[in-house]
Amino acid sequence: MRVLWPAFLAAMLAEGCFFALFDPREALHVGELALTPMAVYTLGFFFFWTFCALASMLTYYLVVVPDDPHPPF
């Protein structure tokens, strides 16, 4: 939870900022896939959550590892 909760909050902020600038109806057709606006919002959120989770995990690793003789990863 130390990694996923901050990543979730950051993903909400990132998605809000991103979709305030870009309309998901413009990205409905990706190749032969026809996506609804809700699907674009969902995929965007999970992309941002994954990216923010990786950043949070790296931050957690850098904070914990120097003090721990047995790193968690």
Per-residue pLDDT 10s for the chain (73 aa) are: 888 999 999 999 999 999 999 888 776 666 677 778 898 899 999 999 999 999 999 988 888 777 667 766 6
Calpha distance 48→54 (Å, rounded): 10
Q: Which residues contact 42 (CB under 8 A, 6 or more apart)?
A: none
Instruction: State both tokens at 52.
Output: 């923010």
What is the per-residue pLDDT for 67? 67
pTM: 0.77
Q: Report the pLDDT value the prediction gives residue 30, as an integer from 0 to 100.
A: 61
